[in-house]
Amino acid sequence: MKQSTLKTKWTLVTTIITFLIIFVFCLLIIYAISSLLKQHELEKAERSVDDIYNLLETKPIQRITTIEFNSVTNSYQKVILHDSYHRKIFENSNTSDIRFSPEFHAINTRNITIIKNKEGSFILVSTPVDTSYFKGYVTVVHSLKVYDDLLRFITYLALIFGLIALFVTAIISYIFSAQITKPINIITEKMTQIRRDGFQEKLSVPTNYEETDALIDTFNSMMIKLEDSFNQQRQFVEDASHELRTPLQIIQGHLSLIKRWGKKDPEILEESLSISIEEMNRISKLVEELLMLTKNDMRHAENQVEKVDINEEIKTRIRAITKIHDYYTFTFNTNQDFIFLNINDFHFEQ
């Protein structure tokens, strides 16, 4: 299964987070606006009840005209009057859209109710009236049609705004994530090129981002160390080949000498075998030394320092070479019979 890319994950995460933020923000805005609008509608309904109450205090109900009732009420309101015997004596509306008439309930104090039915949403404000001209009850039916339409419009507007913001955020997130992952893709391509062409290539891709620049610096440092390690290994192989070649040539020469003369001359046979054994021991020591070098364990070699007779070691080397290169004459002169040095014997032989 193919893994999703960092760019895709970044786009999805930022888009989802932005969507949640916009969604919560829109809910809060809608709730705040709806609360303010509803409070405004309640105030209008209560103000209409107060105006009607004041109107009923000025003259008898028979002398109050419909125009006067309409003047103290707002649009989308219906006024219903009941007498003290709970009989409906008046009903008037500024608009024909309000067909809803609530059931009458006798009350002692002002009562405010919000109801919602198939005909719409309404605020019912009822209050008892006791004036010198009228005794009964006033009920104002305040339609919330404007409030519902406005709230519905705000909801649709918030939805459209949210979708547009979500789409724009997704595009911006995709572009931004592409810019962020671009240095990583460049680094990957450069790494592939370095793997193909060798350690000569170095990453030199300034990304203007602290994290990716630090990654490039770390990678270059690592490549320098790898190159040094590779060069050390190559030098190690070259040194090992060089060090092993001399004793192997000596052994090969003495074996050829044994094959030619050693069968008939026991002295040559004994000497060649001794020298060959010495060279084999030297090869064994060389292998151990090389193993110590690979393990960076030079302390062990330094601890094997001993007193070495330099003259004797040189004479031993000359004897080992003379038998296989008899057409050369080796002469060793020294002004001291004994020269002793504190050194690793194997290092001196090398």
The per-residue pLDDT for range 261-316, each reduced to its tens digit, is: 666 777 777 777 777 787 788 778 777 776 766 655 445 545 566 777 777 777 77
Compute the half-sphere exposure of residue 39: CA atoms within 13 Å on the CB side of its CA.
Answer: 6
Tokens of 292: 């110590």
pLDDT of amino acid 267: 76
Buried b (16+ CB within 10 A) or exposed e, 210-240: eebeebbeebeeebeeeeeeeeeeeeeeeeb
The per-residue pLDDT for range 7-34, each reduced to its tens digit, is: 788 888 888 888 888 889 889 999 999 9
As a whole number, the mean pLDDT across the chain is 79
Residues 163-171, mean pLDDT to the nearest whole number: 88
3-state SS, 229-288, equals: HHHHHHHHHHHHHHHHHHHHHHHHHHHHHHHHHHCCCHHHHHHHHHHHHHHHHHHHHHHH
Q: Where are the alpha helices (DSSP H) in the chain?
A: 6-58, 66-71, 145-197, 210-257, 266-294, 298-302, 310-322, 345-349
Answer yes or no: is pLDDT of 350 > 60: no
pLDDT of amino acid 309: 74
Tokens of 156: 């649709």
pLDDT of amino acid 202: 66
pLDDT of amino acid 36: 92
State how far the Cα of 203 lies from the Cα of 315, in Å rounded to an integer.
55
The per-residue pLDDT for range 185-224, each reduced to its tens digit, is: 777 787 787 777 766 666 666 666 677 777 778 877 887 8
The per-residue pLDDT for range 107-121, each reduced to its tens digit, is: 889 999 988 888 888
The per-residue pLDDT for range 303-337, each reduced to its tens digit, is: 566 777 777 777 777 776 665 566 677 777 777 67
pLDDT of amino acid 323: 59
pLDDT of amino acid 303: 52
- Please state the pTM of the whole predicted model: 0.53
Identify the residue with better confidence: 100 or 82: 82
Confidence of residue 125 (pLDDT cuts 50, 70, 90): very high
Specify the amino acid at residue 255: L
Answer yes or no: is pLDDT of 156 > 60: yes
Residues 159-169, mean pLDDT to the nearest whole number: 88
Structural domains of the chain in order of their starting residue, each with its CATH number: 6-167 (3.30.450), 223-349 (1.10.287.130)
Residues 235-262, mean pLDDT to the nearest whole number: 75
Percent of the chain having pLDDT more than 70? 83
Tokens of 38: 């509803």
Residues 139-161, mean pLDDT to the nearest whole number: 90
